[in-house]
Structure 1
C-alpha cells in the first residue's frame, strides 16, 4: 500500500470510529431515527388565555424546530365537521412543513361504560374525530379507556368499546390509541391486558413518561419503567412528558435515558411527542428544554 492509499484508508477508519461514538455523532449532525412532535397541551395556558389559537399551533411548532403536531380536540371542539376550517388547518400545516400526527380526544364519553348503549354512544361521538383525523392526514386519535367495575370487568368493557371504535377506524385507516391517563389506564398490567383483549390491528397505546398516577388523592402510582416496558409492545405513539428540569437540563423526576432506552429496545420508529406540563418555566421555554433533552438522549441510543 502506497502512502496516499494508506492515509486515505486510515482517515476513513478514524472517521467511522468517530461516527460510531454517540456523543460525537451528535456533534457532527448525525440525524436521529426519531422525529419530534409537539403535543398541543404544552401550550394549554396560552390557548385558554386567547394568546394562541389552534390555527397558530402548527406555525409555533415549526418555529420551535419540531416536525409533527399532536392536536387536542377541546381546542377546536366545534370544528370536527367543519370542512372549511379543517381545510385551512391542513393548508397551514402543509405550508409550515409539519406533519399532522394525531388528535387527542377528551370529553366524548366513556369507552368502557358499563351500559352497552352508552359505549355505543361514545363510539358514535368519536367517529367525527376519526373522520377529522383522516381528513388532516393523521395516523391516529388518542382516546381514554375509562370504565367502572372490578379490574377484570373494566378490562372487558374497555376492550369492547375499543374494538367497536377500531372497526370504524379501520374503514378510515385511522388507529385508535390509548394513553395511560390516570386510574386503571395508568396500570401497565391492566392496559396491556386490554390491548390483548381488543386484538385489532388498529388498536395501540400512547405510553406517556409521566402519567402513571393511579390515585391523585392518595398519590399512589405505578412504576413508570415497568409500565413503559409493558405498554411499548403496543405503542403507536410516545409522549415525552416533562415538568421540572435540573441544572444539567435533565428531567428532575424521570430518567429520560432509561425511558428512551425502553422505547428504543421495543423497536419503536414513530414520533416522540414533547408534552411540557411544568410551572417553573414558561410553556415555550419548557418545550424548548424538553426538545433539547430528547435530542441529547437520542444521541446516546
Structure 2
C-alpha cells in the first residue's frame, strides 16, 4: 500500500464522518427485527445490491454502506463493485478500497465478499477474451484480500451453448482460481442466469475446475436459463425446473449464500420462495457461514425489504431441526 494512497483514504473517511448525511435518509415502516432467544446457526451479511436504488438513484454516498448495514443489525458486508464506478474514476482504485477498509473497521463490520460485474466474460469461447477477463478480475482478488474478504463472486457469461460453455468456463475459472489461491481468496459462481442457473451443468463445470477455492454461491432466486433474443437480462423464456433441488446441489460446494426475496405475504413469508425449507437444507449441509440478505422487490422500500428478509431468516432459523 502506498503511503500517499493511505493518506488520501484516511482523509476521505474523515470527511465522510464530518458530514451527517450523504443523501436522502432511508425511511422504514417495518418494525425492528424480532429478537431471538438463541443465535441462528449462520451469520447475517447485507448484499449491497439491496441498496442499489439508494446509492444509484437517491444519491446516498456508497461509502455509507458499512454504517447503514451496522444500523440494521448486520455483521457482514457484501460489496458490489459497479456501485463504486464513479468513486473509482474520481478517486482512484486504491483510495476507494483503502477507504472501505477503514470504514468497515470503524463500524466493526466484517468484509465478506465482493460481487464482480463488468470485467469480461470468463466463459467466452475465445481464449484471448477469457484471458483478458481473468486479468481484469485479478485486481478485485487483490482488493478482496486487502479488505479481509473470503471471496469474490464472478459471472460466467460468454456463451449459452453447454458444449462450448463447460470447457470455456472451466478454463477461465481455473486460471482465475489459481491466482486467487495465492491470496487465499475463493472464486464463487452464483446461479446468475444462463447456464450458471442450470445447476447440473454448473456443477459439472465446477468439477472440471477441481480446485478447493472454486465453489458456489447459491442464490434463492435467479433461475432463468434462457431469455428472449438471447439477452443476458430481460424477458425470461425458460426457468430451471426445481430451485430447491438446485440449491441442494449447489450447497455441496457453497462458500457463501444469497437469501434473495421479492415480496412477502401478511405473515411475513416470501410469496414465491419457501425460506424455512431452504434454511433446513442449509443447516443439513453443515454450512455455518454468512447468509447475505438481497432484496430485489418493488412493492416495499429497500429498507423495508431488507428488514423483512432478515426477520424471515431469523424466524426460519427457529423452526429448523
- Per the normalisation by structure 2, the TM-score is 0.83
- The CA distance in 1 between the partners of 2:305 and 2:55, in whole Å, is 16
**Distance between the aligned counterparts of 1:252 and 1:180, measured in 2?**
20
Identify the range of structure 1 (162-171 vs 27-36) with the bigger mean alpha-carbon deviation: 27-36
Question: Which residue of structure 2 aligns with residue 280 of structure 1?
Answer: 299
Distance 2:59 2:124 in 1: 36
Residue 126 of structure 1 corresponds to 137
Q: Is there any run of 5+ residues in structure 2 with no aligned partner, and where?
A: 1-33, 228-234
Q: CA deviation at 1:300?
A: 1.6
Q: Which position in structure 2 is the counterpart of 1:231? A: 250
Q: How does 1:106-185 map to 2 (within 5 A)?
A: 106-148=117-159, 150-185=161-196
Tell me what 1:187 maps to. 198
Evaluate the alpha carbon distance shift between residue 105 and residue 28 of structure 1 in structure 2; reply closer, same or farther with a 3 A threshold: closer
Q: Is the 8 A contact 2:44 2:292 kept in 1?
A: yes
**SS of corresponding position for 2:319:** coil
Cα deviation per residue 1:78-137 (whole Å; 9 max; x = unaligned)? Answer: 639633332221111111111100000011111011111111000000001011111111
> Residue 70 of structure 1 corresponds to which residue in structure 2?
78
Structure 1 residues 67 and 244: alpha-carbon distance in aligned structure 2, compared to 1, 3 A threshold = same
Which residue is 1:79 aligned to? 88
The aligned residue for residue 43 of structure 2 is 35
Report the Cα distance in structure 2 between the residues aligned to 1:102 and 1:143, rounded to whole angstroms: 11
Structure 1: state its 5+ residue gaps: 1-25
**Stretch of structure 1 that moved more, 242-251 or 72-81:** 72-81
Displacement of 1:139: 0.5
Q: 1:79 to 1:149 in 2, by over 3 A?
A: same
Q: Which residue of 2 aligns with 1:44?
A: 52
After superposition, the CA RMSD in angstroms is: 1.6
Q: Any conservation in 1 of the 2:177–2:211 contact (CA below 8 Å)?
A: yes
Aligned-partner SS, 1:37: strand
Residue 31 of structure 1, CA deviation: 1.2
**Higher Rg of the two aligned structures:** 1
Secondary structure at the residue paired with 1:109?
A: coil
Q: Secondary structure at the match of 1:299?
A: helix
- Shifted more, 177-186 versus 214-223: the winner is 214-223
Contact 2:41 2:283 in 1 (8 A): no
1:221 paired to 2:229? no
The question of 1:88 aligning with 2:99 is answered: yes
Q: Is residue 243 from structure 1 mapped to residue 262 from structure 2 by the alignment?
A: yes
CA 1:261–1:150: 2 relative to 1, 3 Å:
same
Aligned residues: 276
From 267, 270, 273, the counterpart of 2:286: 267
**What CA distance in whole angstroms lies between the structure 1 residues aligned with 2:155 and 2:35?**
40
Contact in 1 for aligned 2:170/2:209 (Cα 8 Å): yes
Shift of residue 215, structure 1, vs aligned partner: 2.4
Quick one: distance in 2 between partners of 1:71 and 1:53?
14
Corresponding residue for residue 16 of structure 1: none
Question: How does the TM-score come out when normalised to structure 1?
Answer: 0.88
Q: Note the C-alpha offset of 1:138.
A: 0.4
Tell me what 2:272 maps to: 253
Pairwise CA distance, 1:268? 0.9
* Helix, strand or coil at the partner of 2:293: strand
1:99-110 equivalences in 2 (<5 Å): 99-110=110-121
1:153 Cα offset (Å):
2.1
2:221/2:261 contact within 8 Å kept: yes
Deviation at 1:50, TM superposition (A): 4.4
CA gap of 1:218–1:137, structure 2 versus 1, over 3 A, is closer
